[in-house]
Amino acid sequence: MRKCLRCETEMVENLVLMVANGYGIDVREKGALKGALEKIKCAVCPECGYTETYIENTEKVKKLTKKEK
């Protein structure tokens, strides 16, 4: 459960961001041909409208930090 950072109301989670042509937004490594790390999801506060983005699975991101060291 995510709580709103502004008003501490329980947020509505697992929503998907969409761009105008209908494709979701994802996180990728730097470089044009790199594969997607994870789809970005969002949560919205039903009281104040505050919106935040997040990814559910951070394993691929953790591997990137180990690769950089």
Residue-wise pLDDT tens digits, 38-51? 888 899 999 999 99
What is the helix (H) or strand (E) element at residue 14, kind and residue range? Answer: strand 12-16
Question: Contact 11/43 with Cβ under 8 angstroms?
Answer: yes
> What percentage of the chain exceeds 90 in pLDDT?
39
Which residue(s) pair with 26 in the sheet? 39
The reported pLDDT for the residue numbered 33 is 63
Confidence of residue 9 (pLDDT cuts 50, 70, 90): very high
How far apart CA 6 and CA 53 sit, in angstroms, is 15
The reported pLDDT for the residue numbered 1 is 93
The reported pLDDT for the residue numbered 5 is 97
Its pTM stands at 0.70
